[in-house]
Amino acid sequence: MIFLNKLSGEKIMINCDMIELVTENPDTVVQMENGHSYIVEESMDEILALIKEYKRSIKRTRLERD
């Protein structure tokens, strides 16, 4: 799960594994597999960085358990 900020200032947490599409024109829109869309403050590059860090943290957690 990653935290994003809607344009209204509301902080949301989304399941990054359920993201279908991210567009930026000029607002960043995150489209989910279930059809819901969110307009967020973060850029596409920032979202990608958040997803990568989340995935790394999952991998680290799994390695620490072994």
**Domain map of the chain by residue range?**
2-65
pTM higher than 0.85: yes
**pLDDT digit string (tens) for the chain, length 66 residues:** 999 999 999 999 999 999 999 999 999 999 999 999 999 999 999 999 999 999 999 887 777 776
Query: Residue 53 in 3-state DSSP?
Result: helix
| CA torsion, ordered 42, 48, 52, 53, to nearest 10 deg | -10
| Torsion sign over Cα 20, 23, 29, 35 | negative
Q: What are the C-alpha distances in Å from 65 to residues 26, 34, 58, 61?
A: 42, 33, 11, 6
